[in-house]
Structure 1
Amino acid sequence: MALLSSDVERTIRFYQELLEFPLTEIIENRDYQGSNHFFFDIGNGNLLAFFDFPGLDLGPYQEVLGGLHHVAISVDPATWERLRGKLEMAGVPHHIESGASIYFRDPDGARLELLADHLGEMYGSRVM
């Protein structure tokens, strides 16, 4: 999955510093000169990818959402609590559902969910 970033530095600060997902690589996008393709390690062998398209006015069209409802990312319960506190301290609007899911948006409007369960579990039950 690849999302759109309108500001690479802001996206890196949000995902790496606030959400603690390490930036793993930045490479030039082979399809659009001057554009970057960059990746964050979201755990469990998964990466979240982004593109930026400087100088390309996408107007009201945003690839970031398309048909996507939201990106759900599993984190262990201790990390979930820590990140919830960081979101609150940073003033990021969010909504907690069922005491185990935090819904919020990234700086470009992509809807995210942090789920307080280990990968393969949902609300304490194995799903895979």
Structure 2
Amino acid sequence: MIQLQQIHHVAYRCMDAKETVEWYQDKLNMDFLVAIAEDRVPSTKEPDPYMHLFLDAGNGNILAFFEIPNSPPMGKDPNTPEWVQHIAFQVADEKALLDAKAELESKGVEVLGPTEHGIIRSIYFFDPNGHRLELTYVKGTPEQMKQLKEVAPAMVEEWSKTKRAPKHAAWLHEEEFKSKEGSD
């Protein structure tokens, strides 16, 4: 039986390896761990030079990037909204989130949020490659997390049949929507 221990790394494409390393070091205080460069892809043996970067995202988590200069320029899937694909990093608490927002903004990064999600609160911004990033802290109680896990199968089942948002966990955003409606 497969027993996963953790995600070793998640890899994304970047436009410029040096710029990407410097941005993550400066903006998110990530340690640059390893660089690997080859003229051939080890798994496929294709002749495609690349630079592969590994950055420490904390607690054994690694964020990796590939610069592949012989491929067509990076693009985005025009059929997927930019808010869908993102990398989320966890911070300790609300103070850490607000401090991170202030630090990012002081370094010229445009930040959206904080956004309330019931069990988490998050801020959002983009790296120089156009990848959306999220910093979040978990504020949900063990009871809330248990409740969400219990209703998850029923929610997916209902969604698969109706393609409409099931209301089992609507409480996550009810307060946010109520406060917005009250301010309109």
TM-score between the two structures when normalised by the length of structure 2: 0.56
Higher helix share: 2
1:16 is aligned, of 19, 25, 33, to 25
Task: List gaps (5 residues or longer) in structure 2.
Answer: 1-9, 42-46, 147-184
Q: Any idea what the Cα deviations from partners look like across 1:90-114, whole Å, max 9, x if unmatched?
A: 2212211129311111111111100
Q: Please state which structure has a larger fraction of its residues in strand.
A: 1
Larger radius of gyration: 2
User: Where in structure 1 are there 5+ consecutive unaligned residues?
Assistant: none
CA distance 1:34–1:40, shift in 2 (3 Å): same
In 2, Cα distance between equivalents of 1:14 and 1:59: 18
Q: Is the 8 A contact 1:18 1:83 kept in 2?
A: no
What CA deviation, in whole Å up to 9, does each residue of 1:13-51 have, x standing for no partner?
A: 211111111111111145155411111111121101110
C-alpha deviation, 1:87, in angstroms: 1.3
Q: What amino acid maps onto 1:40 in structure 2?
A: L
Count of paired positions: 120
**Selected match of 2:111 from 94, 105, 109:** 94
| Equivalent in the alignment of 2:124 | 103
Question: How many Å separate the matches in 1 of 2:74 and 2:100?
Answer: 32
Aligned: 1:75 with 2:91: yes
CA RMSD of aligned residues (A): 2.7
Q: Distance in 1 between matches of 2:88 and 2:74?
A: 27
Relative contact order (C-alpha < 8 Å, sep 6+): which is higher? Answer: 1
